Amino acid sequence: MRPVALATITALAGAVVVPAAATAPAEEAAAAPATEAEGPIVQMFGWPWDSLAEECRSSLGPDSYTAIQVSPPTEHVQLADQSYPWYEDYQPVSYDLRSRRGDAESFANMVSACNAAGVKVYVDAVLNHMSGSGSQGSGPGSGGTEYSKYDYPGTYVDSDFHDCRENIADYTDQWEVRNCELVGLADLRTGSSKVRDTQLAYLNRLIDMGVSGFRLDGAKHMPPEDIAALVDGLHETTSGNEPYVYQEVIADSTTGGTEYTGNGDVTTFTYTDRVSNAFATGSVADLRNLPEETNLDSEQAVVFVANHDTERDSPPLSYRDGAAYDLANAFTLAFPYGTPRILSGFEFGADTDAGPPSDGRGFTRPADCADDGAWVCTHRHPSVAGMIGFNRAVRGTGLTDWWDDGNSVIAFGRGDAGFVVFNSGGAQGQDSGETTRQFRSSLPAGTYCNVLTGRFDNGECGGETVEVNSDGTFTATVEPNSGVALHRAAVLGG
């Protein structure tokens, strides 16, 4: 996460005060094995609750999305003098469900509507810290709560925070990373049972409302054993399962990410860097070896082309790259590694700190995918939405039938369940030309819908069709920044 815009984390400096006796971390907790995600996640960044409820009914559910990640629902700072930036949401001031996206009632209605549409809700949970001092030190928050840094009435007092009251200066010092302040944010003493009991009350309230899991923001800044103690105290979901937990960990020489896998899945930014750069430059042939380059096993990893941080920090690829960005997301949904997550947020201009479309009081306006220039709605793009069915159809299969041209065109299968071709030759204005050739797959013969070009619905294809021969071969012409995606659940007359 990047909660304030004063400077990048690596540029921050400050003296580190090491207390004589730091609070001991929680004892190693035997956390119950976290449940696995059942399919792709869509990060509906900044979406208000009422709009999300309708989107689950009208789009996310019908398109068979498995789960959404929603922005933090907690009461947060209000930074009117900064035009209500996006990172307000990552500076909680209480665990009341009164954010700029709606109140507890609208949140509960959203969860109910999404569950009814077959879409699980995962909450982005901010547990490492509370508000900071670099932007605005006191209330009221989005729900009217008065507060000051280290003093949050009814929630936390000064002794609930770590004694190191300085910014993290040395990211190679693990103690400092976990005990000092991330860009001035009040760092919670997560080794304290009092703090964890307060957090568990919040998380379990969400579970009891129908929430199915959590993304733990800034998990790298909390000892894994403290997170284990939290996970061990979570209620079962209303469907009787363990909540799905995944943790934000930006791996480096000090923290690799595997330390956290006992608590749940872990985000891998190595994947983000490799895939986004590959599709930005058009050099995708080496992606065949992608799993060997990451630090996590497939069943432990959450993978993504972009998130709300990376798309704002000089990204190689973001929604502004159009077809190349969608193609990279389609690859993520097709390749057999990790749990895919797709970012669907809002547009912003030169001001990368800009918050979602808001009214004069900083509360988010309804999201409307037809409102050009406001909401990106990546999840509705045909080449992304069509791949949700592909991902579902090939689940449990491995990588087969790989072919590449040594540069910008790749093709691979998922056993006899699916096959894809990607031509990234149009990246960054390059035009390496179309590719026409015969591809060899393990698919059975039939007329397939290319779900990258149109929806397959009720036996009809809204896009191109491809004829696969009895030996699994087919001939296709693939334009730059486009592709072919065939799967056995999208066969005409099948």
pLDDT at site 426: 64
The answer to whether position 3 is within a domain reads no
And the tokens for 113?
A: 């509507």
Same domain, 211 and 91: yes
The answer to whether position 4 is within a domain reads no
Instruction: List the CATH number of the domain containing 188.
Output: 3.20.20.80
Same domain, 425 and 325: no
Mean pLDDT of 335-357: 96
Express each pLDDT in 273-332 by its tens digit: 999 999 999 899 999 999 999 989 999 999 999 999 999 987 889 999 999 999 999 999
Assign 50 a pLDDT band (cuts: 50, 70, 90).
very high
Instruction: List the CATH number of the domain containing 486.
Output: 2.60.40.1180
Same domain, 435 and 344: no
The answer to whether position 329 is within a domain reads yes
pLDDT at site 139: 75
Whether residue 23 contacts residue 191, with contact meaning beta carbons closer than 8 Å, is answered with: yes
Same domain, 45 and 86: yes
Express each pLDDT in 53-78 by its tens digit: 999 999 999 999 999 999 999 999 99
Cα dihedral angle (35, 486, 296, 171), rounded to 10 degrees?
-100
Q: Which of 346, 369, 394 represents a domain boundary (last residue)?
A: 394
Number of residues assigned to the chain: 494
Same domain, 390 and 440: no
Nearest to 324 by CA among 288, 276, 289: 276
Assign 370 a pLDDT band (cuts: 50, 70, 90).
confident
Same domain, 376 and 412: no
Q: Which of 394, 429, 463 represents a domain boundary (last residue)?
A: 394
Same domain, 440 and 329: no
Same domain, 345 and 433: no
Same domain, 189 and 52: yes
Phi, psi angles (nearest 5°) of residue 82:
-115, 20
Express each pLDDT in 257-279 by its tens digit: 999 999 999 999 999 999 999 99
Segment (H or E) for 334: helix 323-334
Q: Give the percent of the chain with pLDDT over 70.
A: 90
Domain count, the chain: 2
Same domain, 310 and 428: no
Query: C-alpha distances in angstroms, 21 versus 186, 226, 244?
Result: 19, 18, 35
pLDDT at site 34: 52
Same domain, 444 and 312: no
Q: Determine the Cα–Cα distance for residues 317 and 141; give it in Å rounded to an integer.
A: 34
Mean pLDDT of 409-417: 98
pLDDT at site 389: 96
Express each pLDDT in 98-151 by its tens digit: 999 999 999 999 999 999 999 999 999 999 999 997 545 567 999 999 999 999
Q: Which of 394, 422, 451 represents a domain boundary (last residue)?
A: 394
- Asked if residue 32 has pLDDT above 60, the reply is no
pLDDT at site 8: 33
pLDDT at site 195: 99
- Asked if residue 27 has pLDDT above 50, the reply is no
**Catalytic residue annotation:** 217, 248
What domain range includes position 66? 9-394
Express each pLDDT in 186-237 by its tens digit: 999 999 999 999 999 999 999 999 999 999 999 999 999 999 999 999 999 9
The answer to whether position 2 is within a domain reads no
Query: C-alpha distances in angstroms, 46 versus 100, 218, 308, 358?
Result: 9, 18, 10, 10
Mean pLDDT of 367-391: 92
Local structure of residue 339 (DSSP, 8 states): E
pLDDT at site 432: 65
Assign 24 a pLDDT band (cuts: 50, 70, 90).
very low
